[in-house]
A and B are shown apart, each in its own frame.
Chain A
Amino acid sequence: MEYVNPEGLRLDGRRPMEMRQIRAEIGSVAKADGSALFEMGNTKVIAAVYGPREVQNRSQQISDKALVRCEYSMANFSTGDRMRKPKGDRRSTEISLVIRQTMEACIMTHLMPRSQIDIFVQVLQADGGTRSACINAATLALADAGIPLRDLVTSCSAGYLNSTPLLDLNYVEDSAGGPDVTVGFLPKLDKVTLLQMDSKLSIDLFENVMQLAIEGCKAVANYIREILLENTKQLEYRRGL
């Protein structure tokens, strides 16, 4: 299968180093303390943050820092084939855990002892890169909720097909069975917080592919900053400042 044609275009018309179109919207769930919608191409996720608030289950309370919880769920209509999966299947549990750990690392939990922060991510449409989209949405939602963060954490994936490193794989490219490297990145601190890969890749290629994913994360971070700035301006404006 030809994923990159000799003219250097991918199946959807992107060049290997290009991301899909990204779009974000803050405050898409009115009732939540913080929320955001994040789209990477046809992948579309909503994240909602509730908290910091009282710990619901006393036994889970932590005396010196906040408890961070996360739940990932996929809508029935989010994939091409309609499916009705029971909640909490292995894949969802694993992704929930990944997102929780990634977000926990950048939340300044020590400032909010004995409290609880819930992050809920809901996939509306899946077209590859749902993990990354969820992390990006969660970052925006946390920022919207005003939760103190060390840095914005952004995520992007990259893969390797037809002997070419490709940024931000979509579903078709992801299904090709090649390696898929997902990176979570703290742009200001210049640190990688999440790194996952399936399939295999030689070490020097891995370096290239990971670097590409990091570049993707940086691009996402710039966009997220813009969105937050715009949102803040709007808030100021509404307050009449």
Chain B
Amino acid sequence: MVGLSLGEKNFIQGGIAQDLRSDGRKRLTYRPVSVETGVIPQANGSARVRMGATDVISSVKAELGKPSSLQPDKGKVSIYVDCSPTAAPMFEGRGGDELSTDLSVALQCCLLGGKSGAGAGIDLSSLIVVEGKMCWGLYIDCLVVSSDGNLLDALGAAIKAALSNTGIPRVLVAAGASGDEQPEVDISDEEFLQFDTSDVPVIVTLTKVGRHYIVDATSEEESQMSSAVSISVNRKGHICGLTKRGGAGLDPSIVLDMISVAKHVSEQLMNKLDSEIAAAEAVEDDS
């Protein structure tokens, strides 16, 4: 909980109204974003993303499994978020569970598309090894190490970076297996499958404070919000998912307005992120 005095509250609200926020940013400016990839060598892919004092780590682990009988031609992806107590004492014990679940659900609907997997940012059919029998399951685990607002955008960015860092070993299926048995597989040490992450959307959260909305709110600013809308937009400018949090109602026209702003902002964020990811990968390859 952020405890603020009345003066501080007015200062924040006033700043937003004048398009000059407490840290000197404009309403639609992000804090500096830094990306580090390969931070968890044990994972198939990982990334750490920092936006100001917000710090999250995302890792991707691939496991071989059986595809579900409803979608025999698709792999499985699941996202879990964990809020470490290091980020805030209130996450101690089970204190972070609620927020964690909230974030997991929001990320799933922003990145993974519908129940059938249609419209997902990740091509689920590329995860299939033997149709109906074997597929890769991707477990995306995120950890909030430090929180200073705008967790969802940071997590979304971290997942995107982690996925582009992910290499999955090539699987060679031994011939001859038939019937119901699980096929024998051999895993190649040398070749890795890289994902095409260009379709993975970014998430832009617009937080409404007073009569204006801002991007990348800090936790102080978040404490003054009436509602927030998170919109995930892919490179083509399509809206991939949307969630609204906060109790206050929004006029539909404002929502539409927000979407078009988000679309515009997302382009900048996407470019920024891509260049950061590319730089991070280059650093990792170098070391």
Contact = CB atoms under 8 A, between A and B. Distances in A.
Contacts of B55: 28-30
Interface string B32-60: 00000001111100100000110101010
B278 to A, nearest CB: 23
B86 A77 contact: no
A131 B53 CA distance: 27
A84 interface: yes
Kindly name the residue among B52, B86, B92, B94 whose own CB sees the greatest number of chain A CB atoms within 10 A: B86
A42 B141 contact: no
B108 to A, nearest CB: 16
A71 B95 CA distance: 12
B146 A77 contact: no
A28 B57 CA distance: 13
A31 B82 CA distance: 17
B92 A31 contact: no
Interface in A112-150: 118, 120-122, 124-125
B147 A31 contact: yes
Chain B, interface size: which category?
A: 20 to 34
Contact of A120 (B42, B92, B147): B92
Contacts of B141: 75-77, 82
A32 B59 contact: no
A77 B45 CA distance: 11
B143 A29 contact: no
Interface in A59-87: 71, 73, 75-80, 82, 84, 87
Contacts of B84: 46, 73, 75, 120, 122
B41 A42 contact: yes
Contact of B40 (A46, A73, A77, A121): A77
Contacts of A75: 57, 59, 82, 84, 141, 143
Contacts of A46: 84, 86, 145
B93 interface: yes
B92 A118 contact: yes
Contacts of A118: 85, 89, 92
User: What bracket does the count of chain A residues touching chain B fall in?
Assistant: 20 to 34
Contacts of A24: none
A122 B86 contact: yes
A129 B41 CA distance: 17
Contacts of B196: none
A29 B86 contact: yes
Interface string A198-209: 000000000000
B42 A79 contact: yes
B38 to A, nearest CB: 12
Nearest to B59: A77
Contact of B143 (A31, A32, A124): A124
A30 B42 contact: no
A120 B59 CA distance: 21
Contacts of A50: 89
A88 interface: yes
A186 interface: no
Contacts of A84: 80
Contacts of B57: 75, 77, 124
Interface in B10-43: 39-43
Interface in B121-173: 139, 141, 143, 145-148
Contacts of A78: 40, 42
A32 B144 CA distance: 13
B85 A120 contact: yes
A217 interface: no
B101 to A, nearest CB: 13
Given A47-B86, A120-B85, A125-B42, A77 B145 contact: no
B63 A82 contact: yes
A35 interface: yes
A42 B40 CA distance: 9
B146 A32 contact: yes
Nearest to A116: B89
B242 interface: no
Given A31-B88, A77-B143, A124-B40, 13 more contacts: A29-B145, A30-B53, A30-B148, A31-B147, A46-B84, A48-B87, A73-B84, A76-B139, A76-B143, A77-B59, A80-B42, A82-B141, A87-B94
Interface of A: 28-32, 35, 42, 46-48, 50, 56, 71, 73, 75-80, 82, 84, 87-88, 118, 120-122, 124-125
Of all A-B residue pairs in the complex, the 9 with the closest CB atoms, nearest first, are A30-B53, A48-B86, A77-B59, A76-B141, A120-B85, A29-B146, A122-B84, A120-B86, A82-B61
